[in-house]
């Protein structure tokens, strides 16, 4: 894999293969650019548990120190906790060393502003201009500052969670919960939080050493161990996080994975039943959210893919939004913090189980049922945009279409969304239909269409 194909720079941050496209020199340069963009001050630095994390973080620290910034190292920490901590600490911003759901050979950087939010497109553009120009605000040696270590960076986050959730109700359920942290950053908080909620945790891969026991993306095909553990331990529910703990997938009491789309569906139904309000989701999120929102008479606003796009829309609404998120298992509850948060998602689903007195399988049967297939096709960034351009020419008059992010077309009996990935050198192909057979047929049809265009372009 060469540098051009493996380095991804987008609104989601920077990701690359360690030692190939992502080097210490490159990381230090990004840190210098970000520190210059922020101005000298306190910058939070955290990481997920990847084995390359220490090396990458040292390069980040070096870059920040060269500017006279004061790094505050929070160590291995879930990214939603870092986001809450950054705002509470009144820092200038934060750099998080993580590649989220990417495989172990990848690592990257996510950049947060003073509010603990990802940079928007305008802010990314300004920051990258500084990076490409290479003109950094380097400090004199006598202006170098000593980094600090923060011993309890998750505390502000957990306080918010425990004050929002109905802890007593959850505790009365005495739920046995199988939790798979993938040996990622979630392992520093998830077991403690479950015990604090009165649950009986069954721990799988809860050592934050970065030795991923399976692919860190919480898809059904990656969590067979958790499914078995739920059955063997007679657990009430199973939860699995990705490496930096912003995404959550659920397994019901029968050991059946619900699929990551269902995380937000269940959380949204519970929240809307308590306090109805607008829902903000991205273009690829399940139609089930629209159906549930219609039951409560609230609007659904859809955005481009990317957490910051959902968050900025949430924050811009005049009417108080109830919930937002992305169908990749990312639940965003503004009452806690406007960020994807697997711990909030866990709490909401446990609270839903407690208040309803129903098993997870019963709750999933009460929401609209759709079948979504997420496929991927290897393409460089240039190839991806050429492909989307040709697809738009050919198909945007065939159904209700959106060109906000790639191409989404809603037909009478299914929808399709094709877009370049923000984080990997691929094109994402997503289809959702009322039946599995229909979804499978449409994925095959659109793959053939894509392959046909790729051959002659």
Q: Which residues are catalytic?
A: 100
79-88 and 155-164 helices, crossing angle to 10°: 100
Instruction: Please list, residue by residue across 374-408, b when 16 or more beta carbons sit within 10 angstroms of its beta carbon and e when fewer do.
Output: bbebebebebbeebbebbbeebeeeeeebeebbbb
C-alpha closest to that of 27 among 2, 64, 1: 64
Bridge partner residues of 375 (DSSP):
429
Contact 68, 40 (CB under 8 A): yes
Q: Could you report how far apart the first and last alpha carbons of the chain are, in Å?
A: 23
Distances 330 to 27, 74, 151 between C-alpha atoms, Å: 27, 23, 27
For residues 303 and 282, the answer to whether their CB atoms sit within 8 Å is: yes
Hey, what are 155's tokens?
Answer: 């505390």
Q: Count of residues for the chain? A: 457
Cβ partners under 8 Å of residue 244, min gap 6:
48, 78, 79, 96, 98, 100, 184, 185, 186
Q: Tell me, rounded to whole angstroms, the distance of Cα 122 from its chain centroid.
A: 21
97 has which bridge partners? Answer: 47, 109
Task: Please provide the DSSP assignment of 49-74 as one string.
Answer: S-TTHHHHHHHHHHHHHTTT-EEEEE
Using an 8 Å Cβ cutoff, are 264 and 341 in contact?
A: no
Task: State how far the Cα of 28 lies from the Cα of 9, in Å rounded to an integer.
Answer: 15
Burial 308-339 (b: 16+ CB within 10 A, else e): bbbbbbbeeeeeebbbbbbbbbbbbbbebbbb
């Amino acid at each position: 894999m060469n540098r051009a194909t493996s380095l991804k720079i987008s609104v989601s941050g920077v990701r690359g293969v360690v030692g190939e496209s992502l080097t210490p020199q490159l990381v230090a340069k990004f840190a210098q650019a970000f520190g210059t963009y922020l101005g000298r001050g306190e910058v939070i630095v955290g990481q997920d548990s990847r084995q390359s994390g220490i090396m990458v973080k040292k390069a980040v620290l070096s870059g920040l120190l060269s500017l006279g910034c004061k790094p505050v190292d929070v160590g291995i920490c879930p990214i939603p906790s870092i986001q809450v901590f950054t705002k509470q600490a009144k820092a200038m911003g934060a750099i998080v060393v993580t590649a989220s759901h990417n495989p172990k050979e990848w690592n990257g950087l996510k950049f947060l502003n003073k509010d603990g939010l990802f940079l928007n497109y305008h802010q990314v553009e300004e920051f990258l201009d500084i990076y490409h120009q290479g003109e950094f605000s380097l400090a004199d040696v006598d202006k170098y500052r000593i980094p600090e270590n923060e011993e309890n960076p998750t505390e502000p986050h957990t306080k918010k969670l425990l004050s929002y959730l109905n802890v007593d109700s959850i505790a009365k359920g005495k739920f046995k919960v199988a939790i798979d942290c993938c040996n990622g950053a979630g392992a520093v908080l998830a077991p403690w939080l479950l015990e604090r909620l009165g649950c009986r945790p069954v721990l799988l891969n809860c050592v934050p050493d970065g030795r991923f026991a399976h692919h860190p993306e919480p898809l059904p095909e990656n969590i067979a161990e958790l499914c078995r553990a739920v059955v063997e331990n007679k657990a009430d529910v199973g939860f699995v996080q990705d490496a930096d703990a912003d995404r959550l997938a659920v397994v019901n009491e029968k050991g059946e994975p619900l699929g990551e789309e269902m995380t937000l569906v269940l959380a949204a139904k519970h929240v809307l039943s308590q306090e109805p309000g607008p829902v903000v989701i991205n273009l690829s999120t399940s139609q089930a959210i629209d159906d549930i929102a219609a039951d409560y008479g609230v609007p659904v606003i859809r955005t481009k893919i990317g957490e910051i796009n959902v968050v900025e829309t949430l924050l811009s609404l005049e009417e108080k939004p109830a919930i937002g998120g992305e169908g990749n298992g990312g639940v965003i509850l503004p009452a806690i913090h406007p960020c994807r948060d697997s711990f909030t998602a866990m709490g909401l689903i446990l609270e839903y189980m407690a208040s309803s007195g129903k098993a997870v399988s019963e709750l999933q049967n009460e929401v609209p049922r759709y079948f979504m297939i997420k496929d991927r096709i290897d393409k460089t960034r240039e190839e991806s945009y050429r492909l989307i351009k040709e697809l738009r020419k050919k198909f945007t008059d065939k159904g209700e279409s959106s060109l906000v992010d790639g191409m989404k077309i809603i037909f009478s009996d299914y929808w399709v969304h094709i877009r370049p990935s923000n984080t990997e050198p691929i094109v994402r192909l997503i289809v959702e239909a009322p039946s599995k057979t229909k979804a499978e047929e449409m994925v095959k049809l659109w793959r053939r269409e894509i392959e046909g265009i790729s051959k002659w372009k």
